[in-house]
Amino acid sequence: MISNTPKNPIPFLVVDRQKSLELLRYSKAHRQSFPIGLMGNANSTPNFRKEFKKFSGKNIVKIADSGIFTKDGGMSKSYSELFEKYEEMGTNYGIILDVLKNKNKTIQSAKNAIKEYKKKKRSFKLIGVTQGKTVKEYLECYKILKRIGYKHIAVGGLLAKKENTARFVTVRNEKFLENVVSELRSRYAKDWLFLLGCFHTKRYPLLKKYRIFGADFKGWIFNYKSPTEIRGKLIRQLERIEKEYKIRPKKSKIFTNRKYINLNEQFEIDEYEKILALKKKISKKIKNQEYYEKLNQLLSLQNSNSDELREERFEEINRFLHKKIYSLMHPKKLLVVSCSERKKIEVNRMPAIEMYDGPMFRMIRKHKPFFYNGVDLLIVSAKYGLMKPTLQIANYDKRLSPEQIPKLQKQTLSRLEKFVSNENYKEIMFSMGKDYLSLFDGVDNVLPPKCTVKIAKGKIGQKLHKTKNWLNKTN
């Protein structure tokens, strides 16, 4: 049983189609050790309502709403019909119909809703919504909702309409939001409170401070970009770096209105390959690490088939959820390992996690910590320095020399500090030989204060065993 005022506010992920539920299964939302919420739209398709009900896990909490903020604004004709859909969805909570910034109409809707709700036994708990234009109106509306009989109340009307979209995804005034919530919490210390559309990582401390049950994403986090959009974004990023080196971007027939076309025709493909060839030459000339990484992503995109692209987009969402959402509920860990001499030779270029083929990497690939278990992975090498496991690298043969250590140490610590600055790590494990470990001398100066450092010591086999045990404890 989850408390009305849980220790950690629950993030509710908005889902409105079966694809979004597939993404959540892929990210193992239903297998996390902490509560994860789903918010579904009752006016979606019957198939979606069926799949929403089937999505289950001991940690899953479900809320359904009427879909008032969906693009078509579709709504049930009556509370009787709406509540039947809530039952059909197997939701834990169902939200009433509210009227934006209108206290009186929202109260009237709340009276109609609770009257219909009490006609028979329901499988879900009814959520009222407090609305208003001022803090005073919010408090008045809330007080009346409690008097009517509501035990679960959400705060609505805190969102502003984002330009050129039908979705209300932006909090209109952060100060006003906190004023409303602080006044409500000062009067009703133990009440169940929910903030509609207000979940954001930067707002999480506020949600914890006022012991909010949960909040949802109105900005649709699962809209992953198409290959065309990704291609355009990467080339714009490359052009930005080129400008820093006073390199004028090459004009192209396949790039119009800041968007790249789909490369369906042969002349388009030929033109694009010329652009890639030019970018490769520029990369060799300027030797910029960020440019190199972006170009590798572009080359990887070019060489991937449709199934691989779909997999990568799923992984992109998966990484986002683990990095931005799950880590809030359960602090992450970081594993840092050195490269291996043994590499795969089937292809010249592939992600680092696949290219290195020593015992440590074969074990890591089996665990996939950087995808599922709240563990991120970084790799350090003599050629590429400190890098993410997804970085596309070429097959090479280079050992770490004593002369290289001072310069690479400074670069390595700088990259590590940048990487951990926006993360919530509670523990970091270093598993590597003494030469590579020397690159991290002074690491305590770049890590968060409460982050614990562990080092896998011993011979190669012992390091592997200790690292494996550490990963198993993380699962």
Domain total of the chain: 3
Select from 132, 189, 175 the least CA-distant residue to 156. Answer: 132
Residue 73 pLDDT: 37
Residue 165 pLDDT: 52
Q: Which of 242, 276, 302 is the last residue of a domain?
A: 302
**Cα–Cα dist 133/140, whole Å:** 11
Residue 64 pLDDT: 97
Q: Tell me which of 35-39, 165-169, 179-183, 441-445 is least confident.
A: 165-169
| Overall average pLDDT of the 364-383 stretch | 78
| Overall average pLDDT of the 187-200 stretch | 94
Whether 181 and 328 share a structural domain: no
**Cα–Cα dist 123/121, whole Å:** 7
Structural domain contains residue 221: no
Structural domain contains residue 2: no
Phi-psi region of 246 (alpha: psi -120 to 50; beta: other; left: phi over 0): left
Dig out the tokens for 157 from the structure: 């009307």
- Compute the mean pLDDT over every residue in the chain, rounded to the nearest whole number: 86
Phi (first) and psi of residue 256, to 5 degrees: -130, 145
Q: Tell me which of 143-152, 224-233, 272-281, 319-328 is least confident.
A: 224-233
Structural domain contains residue 172: yes
| Overall average pLDDT of the 68-95 stretch | 79
The residue behind tokens 């602080």 is: 182
Structural domain contains residue 39: yes
- Spatial neighbors of 405 by CB under 8 A, at least 6 apart, are 435, 438, 439
Residue 1 pLDDT: 57
- Spatial neighbors of 209 by CB under 8 A, at least 6 apart, are none
How confident is residue 473, by pLDDT bands cut at 50, 70 and 90? Answer: confident
Residue 322 pLDDT: 76
Whether 329 and 285 share a structural domain: no
Whether 430 and 404 share a structural domain: yes
Whether 206 and 60 share a structural domain: yes
Q: Which of 216, 248, 282 is the last residue of a domain?
A: 216
| Overall average pLDDT of the 13-40 stretch | 89
Q: Which of 241, 269, 302 is the last residue of a domain?
A: 302
pLDDT at 188 over 70: yes
Whether 328 and 457 share a structural domain: yes
| Overall average pLDDT of the 49-76 stretch | 79
pLDDT at 222 over 60: no
Whether 93 and 159 share a structural domain: yes
**Cα–Cα dist 30/91, whole Å:** 15
CATH, residue 388 = 3.40.50.10630
Dig out the tokens for 436 from the structure: 């590579």
Residue 99 pLDDT: 92
Structural domain contains residue 328: yes
Residue 79 pLDDT: 95
- Spatial neighbors of 222 by CB under 8 A, at least 6 apart, are 13, 15, 19, 20, 23, 317
pLDDT at 11 over 60: yes
Q: Which of 136-140, 391-395, 445-449 has the highest mean pLDDT?
A: 136-140
Whether 169 and 239 share a structural domain: no
Structural domain contains residue 3: no
| Overall average pLDDT of the 450-465 stretch | 92
| Overall average pLDDT of the 137-146 stretch | 98
Query: Are 412 and 430 within 8 A, CB to CB?
Result: no
Whether 298 and 403 share a structural domain: no
43-58 pLDDT, tens digit per residue, is 899 999 999 999 999 9
Q: Tell me which of 8-17, 198-207, 296-305 is least confident.
A: 296-305
| Overall average pLDDT of the 71-83 stretch | 68
Whether 345 and 288 share a structural domain: no
Whether 295 and 321 share a structural domain: no
pLDDT at 243 over 80: yes
Whether 50 and 112 share a structural domain: yes
pLDDT at 65 over 90: yes
Residue 140 pLDDT: 98
CATH, residue 46 = 3.20.20.105
Q: Tell me which of 364-373, 380-389, 466-475 is least confident.
A: 364-373
375-415 pLDDT, tens digit per residue, is 889 999 999 999 999 888 888 889 999 999 999 999 999 99
Structural domain contains residue 223: no
| Overall average pLDDT of the 52-79 stretch | 77
pLDDT at 365 over 60: yes
Structural domain contains residue 330: yes
- What domain range is 162 assigned to? 10-216
Whether 257 and 157 share a structural domain: no
pLDDT at 80 over 80: yes
